[in-house]
Structure 1
């Protein structure tokens, strides 16, 4: 039997699956990890101790299963959080911890410098995007300006899955989808690197070779086979970041398909046949050649639920499932609208649509009568408002998503997902996929020709559940949603002032 291996490195957990030729998961493994926040706006992970060590752990677990021992690993693919920035030397050794995606907002000064250098119109014309904390280019510039000794030793700037693929194959590649977030270093229309005007902080040679996620990057080396247990010579696809992989795993593959990812952060992908540039959305290539996305994202989502569990001292000793069940049970003791409390879920700034790294969390409307259950419900509804605010950006840019698929751990939070549907007045389909690792396995199968079309990927996706629009929730939540947006506008200037004060000590 042929098996396809998929491994995904998420913000807080790594998952791996072995999938057979019919799309049935035959084995799975996982490993938890954490992030590092050395100072405000800095979010990092150790590439060797987290990304590679997790891949090794999960791969060894899977390779020791009976199904793996009796089968052939036909191909594999990796996905990981991104776009991250990791400088590595000529031996593929990391020179510092990986700088994470949009949750890391350290490069505000560099964003301002690049905007002044090129002008917003020129950046947008080349990248199809405006600069934000999600942009990897300013973070490369940050390394050059703040850690020049590291920049001088840097052979390549890679992202998370690029690092893993390099460790597995010795080949330094990056998929177009991830490169599309390295603005202003990537030309979206030409689909190639373009460092014109940025030569003072990066060279063309320091950027990986470009390919599509479904192409073959290389083959598992002898050293990688010894470390991971994956057979030497196994085909390794180029792969992509976790969100596009998760979209593939959910069957979001055709134009008009839209994914809402309820993960540690919120992320949305709308699949297009041609690039559509917008100052409010991220435009990038997708997984397949000649496919593109309009994407949106929030800075936090699942991280808020974990934070509020800790804040409310909800017992985590029995694992995440029990932890979040208790949070939902507590929130259910309140009512829709949390008895008047609104929570602005900007614990790490906010991305779409405000792109404001300085914004911070706010509980508004508190009184002496409010309880732990009100705080719990307000926190969950705050995530829903944040996600809905980001999703509304599609309509304001002339994109009307046709089919919405929800995926991620947050879909198990009934208050959250029902609140989003109520605010947006749109039903959602909850995909039964096991996540990005499953999408990786599908990408691997596509890379070697086992799956020959996007429609064949849909045959791998299992049964799905529907979430309708709860009219009883809708009237209150839509009113609160307008207040949520007004709350941000009313406090935006103060958030910037206080954030700058904190940064300057």
Structure 2
């Protein structure tokens, strides 16, 4: 047997990443498997749950073979909240509905919001119903597959789907459950069975636990001979919260910023915090609560531009944007290329680039897109602070921190210092940390993943002015954006 290690795996929107981490926190090995979502009419964005287990199996086998590691514990996370519905034999009835980028359940969101009342939802569930909530998507499936629900169905997310196959346990962590609005009672931190049967009769809800708790141990799997029986497995969580754990952004005045396919923000609080345009959630650990927000695009936007411009290496675009300097040569963008989540909660918002001239090049455009996401972060932070969250420091992770430019722009726009730790592998690293902590192998994240650098803000009056214009630009163009979105939906339905 080779080196001892903890195994973490995260199922993302565009790829699944696995990591082996030594007991001292150093990375033994990583592997990634790319995949694609399925896009359908009505704003549906889905994925076959079978992909999640298949990629776990392949990545675990590959890393085990490459390093010959003795795996001490397993942690899993995934994009979410998702709604994967399976029958009682765990056969999916359809591709899973993904998180806030999936807009299929608009009618269910509107109907349930009216029936339950927004005041009640905010008071009892800590969030209003939006495209982010898993509850309306479960109702959407129930309306289209009533006979399957009558026979009984289970609700899964990527992490719980894999945990089921590893351990045989049908479980879900409390944080993920708290994003299944309105099925979860935020005060009791338990399911509301009556609400579940009202929304999706026949659904059998999983046992709940904390993300950092062991929920079971592995069983022998003929399709994965490299997996020995008896390895402890934790409940796991949604990717952004696992990534928050990976960099220790759990302090009361810290805000976690995840630069991924979408950009996600998590503020921490010892008490429940609510705002109608944000998501109030239960944390990963007892006694923790969050106010969360998320952009609909960030890495997806930069990848779109890189592909469109025919550039292979992001470093080339980053150098171009750095030479342009603050203000992008007088360009101002709205990053709503896939609608927008918080705080607008506007799935029909669309991207805008204002100020274009024949003198502008790709560096100007790329910088304008980076600055647009920074303005969106500032908008979210302001709303969080208005709701009572305390934000003093940003702690970041994700692919966007590989260079200093994007985090530097965010710090300058928001006026907040930004902490970057040594390992920014992401959620899979957080999964490995959580299971190592659960088994008593590590006490503090600082021992695993120390701070590498701190980005101090250099506030610019130009950014203050552009931020105000950014806010006004949406207000001035929202009606046009919505009309264009309607045209796009009609085109999609006729395709």
The normalised TM-score by structure 2 is 0.93
- Cα contact 1:8–1:79 (8 A) shared by 2: yes
2:426 corresponds to which residue?
435
* Cα RMSD (Å): 2.0
Counterparts of 2:59 and 2:340 in 1: how far apart (Å)? 32
Where do 1:353-392 residues align within 5 Å? 353-392=343-382
Given that 1:87 and 1:151 are in contact with CA atoms closer than 8 Å, whether structure 2 keeps it comes out as: no
Unaligned runs of 5+ in 2: none
- The answer as to 2:251 corresponding to 1:250 is no
Q: Do 2:166 and 2:217's aligned partners in 1 also have CA atoms closer than 8 Å?
A: yes
How far apart in 2 are the matches of 1:29 and 1:127? 38
Aligned to 2:43: 41
Query: In structure 2, what is the equivalent of residue 351 of structure 1?
Result: 341
Aligned to 2:481: 495
Rate the CA distance shift 1:152–1:415 in 2: closer, same or farther, 3 A. farther
Aligned to 1:52: 53
Number of the residue aligned with 1:461: 449
Contact 2:155–2:203 (Cα < 8 Å) also in 1: no
CA distance in 1, matches of 2:252, 2:64: 36
Q: How does 1:110-129 map to 2 (within 5 A)?
A: 110-129=108-127
Equivalent position of 2:18 in the other structure = 16
Q: CA deviation at 1:427?
A: 1.1
Partner secondary structure for residue 30 of structure 1: strand
| Alpha-carbon distance in structure 2 between the residues aligned to 1:228 and 1:279 | 48
Q: Aligned in 2, Cα 1:149/1:500: closer, same or farther, shift over 3 Å?
A: farther
SS in 2 for 1:5: strand
Q: Does 1:78 align with 2:68?
A: no
Report the number of matched residues.
488
Partner of 1:414: 404
Q: How does 1:218-367 map to 2 (within 5 A)?
A: 218-223=216-221, 226-227=223-224, 229-314=226-311, 316=312, 323-367=313-357
Aligned counterpart, 2:438: 447
How many angstroms does 1:12 deviate by? 1.7
1:54-102 deviation per Cα after TM superposition (whole angstroms, max 9, x unaligned): 111110111113451xx3x221110111111100122222221121111
| Range with bigger deviation, 271-280 or 358-367 | 271-280
User: Unaligned regions of 5+ residues in structure 1, if any?
Assistant: 317-322
Q: How far apart are 1:141 and its partner, in Å?
A: 1.1
Q: Which moved more, 1:122-131 or 1:199-208?
A: 199-208
Q: Give the superposition deviation at 1:3.
A: 2.2
